[in-house]
Structure 1
Amino acid sequence: MSSLAVTATSHSSAPAALVYAALLDAESWPAWTSYYEVQWELPAGVERPARVDDLRTIRSRLGRVCCRERIVELVPDQRFSYEQAAGLFASHRGSVDLARAPHGGTNITWSATYQHALPLLGTLRRRRLQVLVHDLASYANSIVSRKS
């Protein structure tokens, strides 16, 4: 089984709090990712912010479950970390780190590690992660534009 570590970066003119909020807002993900649906798995009638150990299910445009992820670390406006609970990879852990950029806005670094048996996935994972981080930055920028 091979291991793969991938890092992608982007910049948003939005403050870190807005970018962080987009990561936690499962309903916004279809607006800025290729995923059809991202849902937090909470008991019926429970509405609260995401917490460590919460699960979310991610579905593709074809409606099938891509994966289930568990939140492993939440540092408001700085870090969002998760690990795969079920899905394509034997192990997958990711973190989105947010840092104030020297000239304003937020620098976004999305890192992920994968354990899998398919060696050709490296290039695809690198491209996919770069698209995700770019789309997150663009989405946050669009919110800033709408508010101004």
Structure 2
Amino acid sequence: MSSLAVTASSHSSASAAIVYAALLNAESWPLWSAYADVEWDVPAGVDRPARVDDLRTIRSRIGRMCCRERVVEMVPGRRFSYEQAAGLFTSHRGSVDLTRAPHGGTDITWSATYRHTLSLLDMLRSRRLQVWVHDLASYANSTVSRKS
């Protein structure tokens, strides 16, 4: 087994704050990603924003694959980083970086590293990450359009 580093990027006409909000809003994930369900694991009755060390459970639409991720870094409007806490790929770590684009909107860069990977999956992971970052940008664009 070898390691893999993947980076994908896209542009959104939305502000970094809107893109960042979509990343944190578990209810929006099924609207723009391949996931059917994303839940923040917070104690019952607790209503607070996500924070570093929080866990979230993600279930896919296809095959009902499930993983748990731990938030490792949050810089509102600029960066959201996570690592796999449990699931099939426990060596996975990812980061979404948001930067103001020179001509307006936000440039989105989603990076992921896998300590252990199979070369047969490398192309699939690269393609999937590009789809996710594109879908996130499109969702943020549609959010701006709906508010206009």
Which category of TM-score, normalised to the shorter sequence, fits these structures? over 0.9
Residues 1:5 and 2:11 aligned together: no
- Counterpart position of 1:21: 21
- Counterpart position of 1:113: 113
- Counterpart position of 1:142: 142
Question: What is the Cα deviation at residue 60 of structure 1?
Answer: 1.2
The 10-residue stretch of structure 1 (104-113 or 87-96) with the greater mean CA deviation from structure 2: 87-96
TM-aligned CA distance change 1:105 to 1:63, over 3 Å: same
Residues 1:127 and 2:122 aligned together: no
CA RMSD in angstroms, aligned pairs only: 1.1
CA contact (8 A) 2:4 2:117 kept: no
Unaligned 5+ segments in structure 1 are none
TM-superposition CA deviations, 1:41-77 (whole Å, max 9, x none): 0000111110000000000115734210000000010
Percent of matched pairs sharing the same residue = 80
Alpha-carbon distance in structure 1 between the residues aligned to 2:143 and 2:100: 17
Map 1:80-119 to 2 at 5 A.
Answer: 80-119=80-119
Question: What is the Cα deviation at residue 108 of structure 1?
Answer: 0.1
TM-aligned CA distance change 1:21 to 1:6, over 3 Å: same
TM-aligned CA distance change 1:62 to 1:124, over 3 Å: closer
Alpha-carbon distance in structure 2 between the residues aligned to 1:122 and 1:61: 21
- TM-score for the superposition, normalised by structure 2: 0.96
Alpha-carbon distance in structure 1 between the residues aligned to 2:131 and 2:81: 18
TM-superposition CA deviations, 1:82-114 (whole Å, max 9, x none): 000011114000000000000000000000001
CA contact (8 A) 1:36 1:63 kept: no
Question: What is the Cα deviation at residue 36 of structure 1?
Answer: 0.5
Alpha-carbon distance in structure 2 between the residues aligned to 1:109 and 1:117: 21
Residues 1:78 and 2:78 aligned together: yes
Question: What is the Cα deviation at residue 115 of structure 1?
Answer: 2.1
Instruction: Tell me how many residue pairs correspond in the alignment.
Output: 148
